[in-house]
Structure 1
């Protein structure tokens, strides 16, 4: 029977008794939420098993041979009774507020599936160790953690991959994606695989940058003289065989593409509208005027980048009337209702408050015959506040704490101010949102534009 308030902490051991002792002492001292301890020993010969048997509250599984990280974690997760499962390496030391912070991040939204902390050793690609994380012994670590581990959602970051040295996940995620894949023997790549399966199941992964957990890193490999480089190479090959991509492809943290709904130009006179990732030529100045664009609205993009996009059908007034493009504002010639065209549907903008809230400009509204408006399928009304929204309008700029996001495909994409300016999108008009709103939607990779 599950315990809704319980976190099942699952630790693997293979020798390294002294590190295990330190890990357990820190858990008992600094964990104030309900938890159970499950330890899976993978064949220790240094007295680890005899030591662990002294504690009646530890659920102990003793393997005669090394079942690897995935195999051992699976044994522990099968035994777990908690509503949260936490995979923790035995060469870690936890400190002040560690589990409280991780749980707050995990439950900020139903969409969040897994959470991990920062560490002194190896953090996920794209995440730098904070400059103030410096210590030389355990006492200094705890002193630092008492200041560092303060609840601060502004330090959270959506990730594509989290590392398995300290990985907290909801029971529902485990129920949905299943056990770790034991083809990844001993260790490495199984956490990449686990994270990929979670994101493909629709969950967001979150790095809790307000939580620091000490990690020695690869202690079991070093202590037990396991060839880490060979194991990594073999498991990477298995990952490629399974998914058709390198694990490193998961952590490429940047995208470089032109979003749908923007006007672009290269060196020549042609101006294009990006529609479904096709560049569709604007026929002439008359069409540009009809679409409520000015020449200066077009983003200057190097020709090699423009040429990545296949050329679509030329746009003129007649073509637009037959198939109204997404991201345009329209109204009929005999009614005051204003609609946003999104995903080939018309979304009613209910009032001027909604129009102003999202930064829609009245001068951008195109008036069309009523029969054309009536022929477009109706979608969800656009709400007056993002708090009530279940479908994000595209190409709107949002800001949560100090990070900008661009809305596309019902997701938020991190984007820096300089990139927004390249897209001629105004960062100073960004709509401010809370973490609760941000993590209600999927978080994409950061969009970066490097051209000059």
Structure 2
């Protein structure tokens, strides 16, 4: 099956993509954001195994967004969703241009966050960034769906969290194509699942 056969809907946000050459992009808000250099790539915790190769026509058809860079204005140059910390032990989810303190160890593990992907920021930058809602034991019962995670509904269907909506993944081939892993699936209860809106399916 060719890539063009698989990409029949909008490429999900949070996916690393490339074409025939070595340039790598991060998809956000349907735009491809160029990753400026390898220092930026590794500093944001990206890995080569997460890169999805698209055909050139699909890649060229996507609008180019602002580049990612580990230096300069953090809000402008960083990914929209990111795990960060200061010199202390507290970890935050950077999402919607706000720091969301993760105060529940149970939720940290349930969402399959990985410490290797946590980016350490200067204390003075953390102090300046606006703070959002806490991520606590009952966060999945609030409207704040964590983006970039794979979720399962009580009926077994699999979804991807994007822009605080659940996009149904159109089958095992799509799941594999986007490099998602079974061990990263977040299992939602019935009440949690019905708490969220549904987006367009990923086909």
1:272 deviates by: 0.6
Residues 255, 445 of structure 1: 8 Å contact kept: no
1:340–1:404 distance in 2 versus 1, CA, 3 Å: same
Q: Secondary structure at the match of 1:317?
A: coil
Q: Which has the higher helix share?
A: 1
Which runs of 5 or more structure 2 residues have no equivalent in the other structure? 1-6
Q: Secondary structure at the match of 1:446?
A: coil
Which of 17, 25, 29 is matched with 1:276 structurally?
29
Correspondence list, 1:178-327, <5 A? 256-319=9-72, 321=74, 323=76, 324-327=78-81
Residues 354, 384 of structure 1: 8 Å contact kept: yes
Q: Secondary structure at the match of 1:305?
A: helix
User: Aligned residue for 2:178?
Assistant: 423
Number of aligned pairs? 194
CA distance in 1, matches of 2:50, 2:139: 26
Q: What is the TM-score of this pair, normalised by structure 2? A: 0.86
1:258 deviates by: 1.6
Residues 421, 427 of structure 1: 8 Å contact kept: no
User: Aligned residue for 1:367?
Assistant: 120
Q: Is 1:412 the counterpart of 2:166 in the alignment?
A: yes
1:393 deviates by: 0.3
Q: Is 1:378 the counterpart of 2:134 in the alignment?
A: no
Which of 62, 86, 90 is matched with 1:332 structurally?
86
Name the Cα RMSD after superposition.
2.0
Residues 292, 364 of structure 1: 8 Å contact kept: yes
Q: What is the TM-score of this pair, normalised by structure 1? A: 0.41
Correspondence list, 1:7-406, <5 A? 256-319=9-72, 321=74, 323=76, 324-333=78-87, 335-385=88-138, 387-400=140-153, 401-406=155-160
Residues 141, 195 of structure 2: 8 Å contact kept: no
Which runs of 5 or more structure 1 residues have no equivalent in the other structure? 1-253
1:357 deviates by: 0.8
CA distance in 1, matches of 2:184, 2:28: 24
